[in-house]
Amino acid sequence: MNNVFVYCEIEGTTVVEVAQELLTKGRKLANDLGVELHAIAVGAGIKGKVEEQILPYGVDKLFVFDDEKLFPYTSAPHTDILVSLFKEEQPQVCLMGATVIGRDLGPRVSSSLTSGLTADCTQLEIGSYDDKKAGKHYDKLLYQIRPAFGGNIVATIVNPDHRPQMATVRSGVMQKALYEGKAKGEVVYPEVAKYVNELSYVVKVLDRHVEAAKHNLKGAPIVVAGGYGVGSKEGFDLLFQLAKELHGEVGASRAAVDAGWVDHDRQIGQTGVTVHPKVYIALGISGQIQHIAGMQDSGIIISVNNDPDAPINQIADYVIHGTVEEVVPKMIKYYKQHSK
């Protein structure tokens, strides 16, 4: 009762990375709250395959629901499982990744349980809250901190009275780490038919294509990112060259992605990937707040822009007044020269 639960999204038999990031965070929250960390895995053919991807993160109890009808994901069966399980287990917190699945499942579960849900949290902490109107004081609530209003404000949300307190978090926002301490590591395999209404298997997946990620932008130590100032798809060729030299990855602002110059999966920002590289080189990026949200924790930020007032210059360590066509070839040239 009253534990921290993490829903572990699974693709085939692989637990997605964001789930492991949330298990890491969940373990810390559970320690702060003095309770256990529980995990839920739902899929097909996962028994014996997912336990080792979940338990090492400090999980006290893992519930595995395995049935061939549970993959690919459809909304109703996964909702049924969480709702039924939560009615039994009465968790105080439930976390899930803010993925396509998480943002489909989270609201349906929270609506069923009349609980509060905060999407796309960038920070989670435990703290107290005073409801001045009702004259009530609450201790040890989950602070669900997230940007809103297009990223122009940061709000701290709490669910004082309703349970579970639910939050979704995007991939790459939290860091994953294996748990050094001791956790119970108990695994149970509940009978799926007891948790899912047979009528819930009503949406059919006719066709499905998933491509393995072509790059690891999220984990790249050096990011070469291009914005509208790159000017064209061909302009990005220069960026790919520079990234290759520096052993980095190429990212982009939303403007460049919307213009069709680069794939959507390279978009950095609130609705894209969050990165924490050692070096972030922003080329022709103005620095809309939604973009900054995805890269503000970078180590060194270098901005190349011919607009001296570009907002990104405010947070850059090096500001270069110039165009991308002018500067990038020189960067490649002098890098090669000096790194011999």
Partner 1 sequence: MSLKIVVLAKQVPDTRNVGKDAMTAEGTVNRAALPAIFNPEDLNALEQALRIKEQHPGSTVGILTMGPPRAGEIIRQGLYRGADTGWLLTDRKFAGADTLATSYALAQAVKKIGDVDIILGGRQAIDGDTAQVGPQVAQKLGLNQVTYAEEVLKIEDGKATIRRHIDGGVETVEAPLPVLITVNGSAAPARPCNVKLVMKYKYATCPMERTGEEPWKELFDERPYLTLNQWSVADVDGDEVQCGLSGSPTKVKSVQNIVFQAKESKTLTGTDEDIDGLMKELLDEKIIG
Q: Which of residues 149-188 bind partner 1 (CB under 8 A)?
A: 149-162
- Shortest distance in whole angstroms from residue 207 CB to partner 1: 4
Q: How far is CA 128 from the centre of its chain?
A: 26
- Shortest distance in whole angstroms from residue 56 CB to partner 1: 23
Contact pattern from residue 227 through residue 256 relative to partner 1, giving x for each residue in contact according to CB under 8 A and a dash for the rest: -------------------x----------
Q: Beta 318-321 vs 300-305: how paired, if at all?
A: parallel
CA separation, residue 9 to residues 12, 23, 96, 112 (Å): 10, 11, 8, 20
- Shortest distance in whole angstroms from residue 180 CB to partner 1: 29
Contact pattern from residue 259 through residue 298 relative to partner 1, giving x for each residue in contact according to CB under 8 A and a dash for the rest: -----x-----x-------xx--------xx---------
Considering only residues 93 through 112, tell me which ones interact with partner 1, judged by CB under 8 A.
99-101, 103-104, 106-108, 110-112
Does position 208 interact with partner 1 (CB under 8 A)? The reply is: yes
Does position 202 interact with partner 1 (CB under 8 A)? The reply is: yes
Does position 318 interact with partner 1 (CB under 8 A)? The reply is: yes
- Shortest distance in whole angstroms from residue 210 CB to partner 1: 4
**CB closer to partner 1 out of 17 and 89:** 17
- Shortest distance in whole angstroms from residue 30 CB to partner 1: 22
Q: Which of 51, 66, 67, 120 is in the footprint of partner 1 by CB under 8 A? A: 120
Contact 184, 36 (CB under 8 A): yes
**CB closer to partner 1 out of 3 and 298:** 298
- Shortest distance in whole angstroms from residue 24 CB to partner 1: 20
Contact 264, 273 (CB under 8 A): no
**CB closer to partner 1 out of 61 and 266:** 266
Does position 307 interact with partner 1 (CB under 8 A)? The reply is: no
User: 308-316: which pairs have CB atoms within 8 A and are 24 or more residues apart?
Assistant: 310/285, 310/286, 311/286, 311/287, 312/282, 312/285, 312/286, 312/287, 313/287, 314/287, 315/287, 316/282
Q: Which two tokens stand for residue 263?
A: 């794939």
Does position 119 interact with partner 1 (CB under 8 A)? The reply is: yes
Q: Which residues have a Cβ under 8 Å from the Cβ of 143 and sit 6 or more positions away?
A: 123, 124, 125, 126, 127, 156, 157, 158
Does position 148 interact with partner 1 (CB under 8 A)? The reply is: yes
- 250-275 as b/e: b if 16+ CB within 10 A: bbbbbbbbebebbeeebbbbbbbbbb
Does position 193 interact with partner 1 (CB under 8 A)? The reply is: no
Q: Reduced to 3 states, what is the DSSP secondary structure of residue 268?
A: strand
C-alpha 287/C-alpha 282 separation (Å) is: 9
Matching residue, tokens 């052993």: 247
Q: Which residues have a Cβ under 8 Å from the Cβ of 92 and sit 6 or more positions away?
A: 2, 3, 4, 33, 35, 142, 163, 164, 165
Does position 299 interact with partner 1 (CB under 8 A)? The reply is: yes
Does position 219 interact with partner 1 (CB under 8 A)? The reply is: no
Which of these segments, 38-46, 88-96, 139-147, 230-238, binds partner 1 (CB under 8 A)? 139-147
